[in-house]
Structure 1
Amino acid sequence: MAETAKKISMIPAKVQYDRNVKLSEKKMKVAAYCRVSTELEEQDSSYEAQVEYYTSKISENENWKNAGIYADDGKSGTNTKKRADFNAMIQDALAGKIDMILTKSVSRFARNTVDSLVTIRKLKEKNVAVVFEKEGINTLEGTGEILITILSSLAQEESRNISENIRWGVVRKFEKGKVIVNCTKFMGYTKNEDGDLVIVPEEAEIVKRIFRLYLEGYSTGKIAKHLEEQGIKTATGQDKWHSTVIDKMLRNEKYMGDALLQKTYTVDFMTKKKVKNTGLVPQYYVEDDHEAIIPKELFYRVQEEMMRRASLCKAAVTRKKNQRSRYSSTYALTGMLICGKCGQEYRRVTWARNGKKKVVWRCSNRLTNGVKKCGESEILEENALNRAVMEAIHRITSDDMEFMENFR
């Protein structure tokens, strides 16, 4: 049987981008991206110059339509997540609003090799060209990606060198005892013209109140609630206080005039991630660096009290698995009554019998684990306890004027 001749016809491609045609000969939507990496005043002219240059360049070419000038001022190039205009530009390009992006150099576009290549490949899939003027690279040309890989790696290494140089300079300042603090989040202090810490009187009063309340028996949570009730705002102007913030303030040696430098360090120059310094890099302690808000004697008393409260955590036998006890400032005798039979803390409980309530203190070991663990502990009525405490205080203070003076 004779074979039927096949009829073949070609369907022409809808060319969106002809690589053999020069960019200047093709009508296209052209955008430009400008960036300077810091907010220093000396770079303002560079930033403005880039914007003016690309605005003029696009408008002078009759075959180009201005698709926008995208500019990030004072943004780091090591990570694209924080560059709002850069991300907006890429979204517009992927949406078909941009055919070509002009930028000064690879380092202006991105110093992160991964970010650079991933972004360029996404754009390449949409036939969007990125032209780097300094290097003379068009990413839609054959050798574009090879050159981009090489140049992006070099740019990334440049970022590493810059980061290391900055860190070297900071460490040298630490060695000389120069304190570096972000005062926008530091309650009680600001900086003068020389960069030294100086007290802000109204904020210092808040710091003093926090330390005083803690020594009066308040927990960090209760102090936070007190400040909120008084309408006192945080260092950043927020109404909400967190107990963790209070805890950090109570531990901050700067309030007694000293300074521990390099408490944290950067582990990755790309992500800028900082971690607590547990001894992997040197620290520097500067004594009497600036005027203190809290006397050293008072500061050390607070540290001792924090250690005392931390030591009040119950033994494993008195709490459930993975349950951690916390200091409570609700009752004056909490953590002070110890069972003479098993050595565990006493806990305040309320008995209700025949419609009447009575407050007593009982061994927490017995309450949690029953009489088999502690069957001989005494039950103490709170009223009797309070009378015993007051009688003891009266006996101590009645004839001892020295004690009374210290007590006051």
Structure 2
Amino acid sequence: MTQPLRAVIYARFSTDMQRDASIDDQIRSCREHAKRQGLNVIEVYSDKAISGASLMRSGIQKLLRDAQGNVFDVVSSEALDRLSRNQADIAAIFQKLQFRGIMIETVSEAMISEMHIGLKGTMNSLFIKDLAIKTHRGLKGRALAGKSAGGKAFGYQNVIHYDASGEPIRGDRKIDPIEADVVRRIFTDYAAGLSPRKIAEKLNEGGITGPTGRGWGTSTLHGNRERGTGILNNELYIGRQIWNRLAYVKDPDTGKRVSRLNPEADWVITDVPDLRIIDDALWDAVRARQGAMKVKNSDVPIWDRRRPRTLFSGLMACGCCGGGFSKVNKNSFGCSIARNKGKAYCTNMAMISQVELEELVLKALQDNLMDEDALKVFCEEYAKERNRLQATASQNRSALEKELAKTKADHAKLVDAIIAGVPAEQVKDKMIALDARRIELEAQMERDPAPSPIRLHPKLAETYRDKVATLIRQLQEPDGMLEAKGALRGLIDRIVLQPTKPDGKLAIHLEGALAQLLILSLGSKGNQGPRSKSQAIDNIDELVLVAGRPQPPQST
């Protein structure tokens, strides 16, 4: 008896305005459709209040990962735009599933083909563009009327009125007296000479909640003057609303929104005197102080300055609070949370010089990571497990090979029967079924090639140390510096800096990225390219852990 096709359901709604029940409605509709089609539903994936213009959704990503294991045959959804509204994304989903032999079946469009992908993908993309234009037009009307066109500024409360039919009228605001006092305090302290860091620290010590509902940070206060972000740059506090200063576009690689400054001619500026919190004199005093804060010998304001990345910037973490370590003066690093938010959030005020940190970490990279004894145990256990899994895969492949041979033999027997005089009509259906199965088996064997045993070289640690030493030397060479810097950074997951007692110095705990450590070690001195490296370590890039046996922390 033929087994029913295995189906999974995907459901999504895109805005907080929709009900959670929308997901349940979609799933119920898909289940009913699957039942009519004779499909066996084995799993349900869903994403709530997430735009279909992005693939950065946990539900769809899990579905695509599971598809790689060929655990289902059909993806069922209410409509194609539930999977994605982005034309490129829906085409990519279709191609990935088609490669695995997985069909897409929707309640609205039935079986999805290349024609649906082209036409519906284009229609969905146009729908998104048209929706964005209409939304922007509506928000502009709000802004021209002096109403809120999105978001909630600190210092104000949103007010909702209702029309005669009971429908909500949104966009009105009023001053929040308590938050307005905080805004005045920030402006007054800054005009008096206090730094944003000190102001944030005092607010946090006083238990005053910030705009996000958490603590205050320096960037929340000074923001970016040109872009009008940050408490100190918000002109709403002087009764002047500026809308459409920034445009937001979605990065196709990350799915995240990126802001861009619009031309000033596109800004919508409206006077809203009833929302004024700060008087002109205090506002002008703050602007005058901001205008005086320039980088020495540069026209770049201090709030727009971007320091160059150091060798290990972005990889350092505080052992007390988990926050990042960054430059606190010209030569040293310190905990950003302790300095930006105050001792109420972190008490780690210890510092370490850039030169000392880099020397200690480079030494630890070369000597402490890839400990030979620990590496030997890992190689043995990893190879044993991988070979066990591959033995299972070999057995599965052997079964496929046997079935393929039998399918071809049965097909040949039917051909012989026709030659011997059996009417072709009697064996036609059987021959078609055998030929379809042959094609399916050959495709499956091509997708999953025969595995080979895994062996890791016993001199891996020695090779690793030689290559790290070479990379460190290249840091001094202009031609190879950038490549060496990137390679060395790739070997590290985190550098945790923990104060030690009683001297208060910092202990350095170095956490290595095992995948990159092994990739570097397995690299051939000959012409072996990246392809053979990745084959040699197979799925090892999925592992991330502290490489080597526990080492005494490096203290400064």
TM surpasses 0.5: yes
Equivalent residue for 2:282, pick from 298, 308, 314: 298
Equivalent residue for 2:159, pick from 179, 192, 207: 192
Query: 1:162-197 deviations in whole A, cap 9, x for unaligned?
Result: 1122112222323333332412xx322221124322
Q: Distance in 1 between matches of 2:102 and 2:242?
A: 51
Q: Which runs of 4+ in 1 moved over 6 A?
A: none
Q: Distance in 1 between matches of 2:84 and 2:45?
A: 14
1:244-259 alignment, distance < 5 Å? 245-247=221-223, 248-259=230-241
Q: Distance in 2 between matches of 1:96 and 1:219?
A: 58
Query: 1:182-217 deviations in whole A, cap 9, x for unaligned?
Result: 12xx32222112432222232222212111111211
Aligned twin of 2:145: 176
Aligned twin of 2:85: 111
1:7-406 alignment, distance < 5 Å? 26-41=3-18, 46-58=22-34, 63-81=38-56, 83-138=57-112, 144-183=113-152, 186-194=153-161, 195-243=171-219, 245-247=221-223, 248-267=230-249, 273-279=257-263, 282-310=266-294, 313-315=295-297
Q: Tell me, what secondary structure is at the counterpart of 1:285?
A: strand
Q: Distance in 1 between matches of 2:45 and 2:306?
A: 53
- Superposition RMSD on alpha carbons, in Å? 3.0
2:232 aligned partner, one-letter code: L
126-135 or 211-220: bigger deviation: 126-135
Q: Distance in 2 between matches of 1:266 and 1:159?
A: 14
**More helix per residue:** 2
User: Higher Cα Rg: structure 1 or 2?
Assistant: 1
Query: 1:80-113 deviations in whole A, cap 9, x for unaligned?
Result: 11x2222222222222332211112222221112
Q: Tell me, what secondary structure is at the counterpart of 2:64?
A: helix
Q: 1:237 to 1:52 in 2, by over 3 A?
A: same
Aligned twin of 1:397: none
Equivalent pair of 1:111/1:159 in contact (CA under 8 Å) = yes
Q: Tell me, what secondary structure is at the counterpart of 2:208?
A: coil
Fraction of identical pairs, as percent: 23
Q: Distance in 2 between matches of 1:224 and 1:171?
A: 34
Structure 2, unaligned runs of 5 or more: 162-170, 224-229, 299-304, 308-328, 330-556
TM-score by length of 1: 0.62
Query: 1:49-69 deviations in whole A, cap 9, x for unaligned?
Result: 2122223444576x5322222
Q: 1:103 to 1:275 in 2, by over 3 A?
A: same
Structure 1, unaligned runs of 5 or more: 1-24, 139-143, 317-321, 329-408
Q: Distance in 1 between matches of 2:216 and 2:240?
A: 28
Query: 1:124-158 deviations in whole A, cap 9, x for unaligned?
Result: 222111113322334xxxxx224322321222122
Equivalent pair of 2:251/2:257 in contact (CA under 8 Å) = yes
Q: 1:175 to 1:198 in 2, by over 3 A?
A: closer
Query: 1:255-278 deviations in whole A, cap 9, x for unaligned?
Result: 122211111123569767453434
TM-score by length of 2: 0.46
Equivalent pair of 2:188/2:282 in contact (CA under 8 Å) = no
Q: 1:37 to 1:229 in 2, by over 3 A?
A: closer
226-235 or 86-95: bigger deviation: 226-235
